Each structure stands twice: as C-alpha cells, then as structure tokens.
C-alpha cells in the first residue's frame, strides 16, 4: 500500500462533525501510525487530530462564516456556539 497523503487525511477530516470526531481521529491515527515522526504527512495528520480532539468538545468546526453574536435574542436560553477553535471546557 502506498504511503498516505495529505489528501487522504483531508478526506477523513473534511466532513467531521462533533459527534464523530473521535472515531475519525482514531482513523487518522491508524492511517499515519507507520510513518516516521518527522514525515510531513504525519505532522499534518497530528495537527488535524488536535483539531478533531477540540471538535469533540465543540458544536461545529465553524471554519467559514461569522459567529452569532451573544447579544442575539434567545442566546441565554439556547447557547449553541462552541466552535472547534473555542470548544467547551472539558468535564462539563
């Protein structure tokens, strides 16, 4: 089997949702586990695994578009913003 590529990693991570973040993280880890630690694809995959770990505590990747302002009516009743770059604190 050929070495995995960045495109292979992106194919796994691209459609990630919080619900499946850890399952996808495990697949990415398995994909690159035989690569040397300094291999460019493995380093890229490790960055994406960190994203998936944060996503597991988030409500979306929120890579595009603006965020809803906390002043929006109803925010206090139904907070729904916990993007991967600002996930909920662990243990809550």
Shortest CA distance to 61 belongs to which of 52, 71, 73? Answer: 52
Compute the distance between CA of residue 78 and CA of residue 26 in angstroms, rounded to an integer: 31
Question: Higher confidence at residue 5 or residue 59?
Answer: 5
Which phi and psi angles does 83 have, rounded to 5°? -65, 165
Model confidence pLDDT, tens digit, residues 43-91: 999 999 999 998 888 766 666 666 667 676 766 655 555 666 777 676 6
Q: Which of 22-26, 27-31, 32-36, 83-87 has the lowest mean pLDDT?
A: 83-87
pTM of the predicted model as reported, rounded to 2 decimal places: 0.69
| 3-state SS, one letter per residue, for 25-88 | HHHHHHHHCCCCCCCHHHHHHHHHHHHHHHHCCCCECCCCCCCCCCCCCCCCCCCCCCECCCCC
Residue 32 is predicted with a pLDDT of 97
Compute the distance between CA of residue 85 and CA of residue 44 in angstroms, rounded to an integer: 17
92 has a pLDDT exceeding 70: no
């Amino acid at each position: 089997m050929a070495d995995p590529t960045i495109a292979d990693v992106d194919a796994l991570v691209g459609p990630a949702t919080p619900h499946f973040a850890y399952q996808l993280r495990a697949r990415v880890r398995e994909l690159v586990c035989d690569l040397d630690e300094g291999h460019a694809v493995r380093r890229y995959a490790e960055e994406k695994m960190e994203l998936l770990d944060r996503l597991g505590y988030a409500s979306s990747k929120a890579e595009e578009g603006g965020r809803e302002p906390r002043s929006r009516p109803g925010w206090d009743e139904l907070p729904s913003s916990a993007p991967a770059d600002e996930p909920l604190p662990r243990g809550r």
